[in-house]
Structure 1
């Protein structure tokens, strides 16, 4: 509807957008003519909008948050242009929020409902029974805030956005314990000695610095001539073809032969599209399976609260202790900011710190000057 004119107009042309027309690629509109005052025309516009949606005013006020979210998920990506990760993130956000307040009418949700929901998440009142991290809570609330702003309110299902006043929860900064160079090398052999197809992703995380989902997506065609192609999950900039350390190249070469023989025994054929890390029937492994496998193995090896991402931290720390160029370490870790590499990922074990300190020679070791002896020092103070 056009803006309110200065003169008293009793005839209005109301236009409502009904989405993009697939045939033309342009926004389609429906129009109607209304006679009355401006206030009446505004109400008529809302009634016309609900009529096009096939819903009465009373029905729209009774719509629950779960129903609204279902409509939003269908309408948000009608041509399936969103990435799989973005679509999955929205679905997770909807599932988590609707578990707590999904039965409430979307028009009656208040700021207090949102605050109580977030407190419950922090306390562990979730679908899985485990508390959400600050980063996860912020992502979920941001997704629902966008749904309210760009879908629920324009459609007339709600008049305000209760997620708009939400204050972000401080992100968790879990400190990753450092391990020594010897522990790192021993861990690599411990993982490989499992000869478990589910553990190969752990090896890629430890010796190539892959994130968990990146390691799960590596196929044999991505490993050629001592290089590994990593398909980044965080951004396109994270895609890279990087050299492998010799130990990893040797382990993967041996595992490729072992995997081929095991698959042959099951009447399966290994191809370049076969995943390096698989489940027990040699299909692509899921993150939950990988997480359980590492928690079990890590606990057996003496690590406290092990997480797959810890392996990536230890990879960066190992490169730092190997005297590699700092910029090369940043490139191997695929970080856009070197402070992330140095301040968050790099950790030095106290044993290695002592060894590094011992490399510093005594002052004057390479010059003709020498420090005074103990007898000379005593003679000075005895005067």
Structure 2
């Protein structure tokens, strides 16, 4: 049951009774509209009543974006984002989004605000570092993702009806040139690794054989070495917060899984594990975490930071004049090697813990096409044997 109340020239308040409280007092949903006359107001009332009764109506929220920011940090971002990504998004929001859009009510933000935000970023005048060149597509894309993250949280918290950034297309980021791979490069890399301390050799082999990430590598504990299966379980990752504190979190995309390893690597890893367990027993009262035995840690059990792995790798590259190969690229080398050995793509995708096989295809499609071309060439021998003319 609805009613209309004239509030002023061209202004009406619509009211819908949705029920009654314990005292019999009507419970109403109200909405103000600006239309020319009462006939048009009645049409708006009919639409409003249909929205309310169908459950499609959500009350306008008057929280400003800048007021919602801290709620987003505490109740959404700290749980959903890695510390590094959170730092980046906070910087973008505080420097680029809140100054221009912070005063807006969440309910008033629409798709055009997001479009205008992205369009403004293309203007060289809006750079924060003073350089006279446009922001890269990847930087603009990250700005979009930061804005979208806030609006996604507001949507999930039912503070807005729909996420206005949902259907906006950010700039396409140019795909990086495929990583140059060859067996000769791998063989050279292995020769260099053989001159490193034993622990570093083991780190290299785990990364290359399993395709794990730096954060997953340094988060490995002795319990993750599955001797009976000759496999390693990846179920957590380690990152460093801005305060310097090390944080154990779930693996990227929540994709836990095991990766089988050769017996030779299992033997190497077992040596590291036994060494750590002995140190743990000897210094139990001084251990960094009395409930965990990390594989790659100091004598008191404090695990290596992910950036320490990258720093060691950078020094190794410099000593041996190895160009353009990050530690993370061992993951790509691992996948490329398996593709060239004709391991099924689905098995590779599961091994490196991609949520979808399409992700593996997108990243490594060029290598898969090369192997597929080679597979087709094998059939040429049948045509060579057939001397008949067409």
The separation in 2 between residues aligned to 1:148 and 1:12, in whole angstroms, is: 26
Matched ranges for 1:224-235 at <5 A: 224-225=226-227, 226-231=230-235, 233-235=251-253
- Structure 1 position 239 matched with structure 2 position 256: yes
Query: Contact 1:208–1:244 at 8 Å: present in 2 too?
Result: yes
Matched ranges for 1:327-346 at <5 A: 327-338=346-357, 340-341=359-360, 344-345=363-364
The separation in 1 between residues aligned to 2:27 and 2:221, in whole angstroms, is: 57
Distance 1:209 1:124, change over 3 A: farther
1:221 corresponding residue in structure 2: 223
Query: Contact 1:118–1:137 at 8 Å: present in 2 too?
Result: no
The separation in 2 between residues aligned to 1:287 and 1:216, in whole angstroms, is: 7
2:73 corresponding residue in structure 1: 73
Output one character per residue of 1:182-232: Cα deviation in whole Å (capped at 9) or x when no partner: 432553464464328678554422111113332232211110211111127
Output one character per residue of 1:33-85: Cα deviation in whole Å (capped at 9) or x when no partner: 999x987xxxxxxxxx99xx9xxx9xx7xx7x6554113334x45xxxx8844
**Which among 90, 93, 96 is matched to residue 94 of structure 1?**
90
Query: Contact 1:14–1:33 at 8 Å: present in 2 too?
Result: yes
Distance 1:252 1:170, change over 3 A: same
Secondary structure in 1 aligned to 2:328? helix
Query: Contact 2:225–2:233 at 8 Å: present in 1 too?
Result: yes
Distance 1:151 1:294, change over 3 A: same
Query: Contact 2:72–2:150 at 8 Å: present in 1 too?
Result: no
The separation in 2 between residues aligned to 1:344 and 1:231, in whole angstroms, is: 23
Q: How many residues align?
A: 313
The separation in 1 between residues aligned to 2:146 and 2:93, in whole angstroms, is: 8
- Structure 1 position 184 matched with structure 2 position 186: yes
Instruction: Say which is worse superposed, 257-266 or 272-281, in terms of deviation.
Output: 257-266
1:288 corresponding residue in structure 2: 307
- Structure 1 position 141 matched with structure 2 position 147: yes
Query: Contact 2:3–2:15 at 8 Å: present in 1 too?
Result: no
Q: CA deviation at 1:175?
A: 2.8
Greater strand content: 2
The separation in 2 between residues aligned to 1:306 and 1:327, in whole angstroms, is: 26
Output one character per residue of 1:145-193: Cα deviation in whole Å (capped at 9) or x when no partner: 33566779759xxxx9986785312134223423323432553464464
Q: What is the TM-score when the length of structure 2 is the normalising length?
A: 0.57
Secondary structure in 1 aligned to 2:232? strand
Q: CA deviation at 1:252?
A: 1.6
Matched ranges for 1:1-383 at <5 A: 5=3, 67-74=67-74, 76=75, 84-86=79-81, 88=83, 89=85, 92-104=88-100, 106-107=102-103, 112-117=116-121, 136-146=142-152, 167-188=169-190, 190-191=192-193, 193-195=195-197, 201-225=203-227, 226-231=230-235, 233-236=251-254, 238-257=255-274, 259=276, 273-278=292-297, 282-338=301-357, 340-341=359-360, 344-345=363-364, 363=381
Structure 1: 5+ residue stretches without partners: 16-30, 40-48, 371-383
- What's the C-alpha RMSD, in Å, of the aligned pairs? 5.4
Distance 1:177 1:33, change over 3 A: closer
Query: Contact 1:278–1:285 at 8 Å: present in 2 too?
Result: yes
Query: Contact 2:232–2:259 at 8 Å: present in 1 too?
Result: yes
Q: What is the TM-score when the length of structure 1 is the normalising length?
A: 0.58
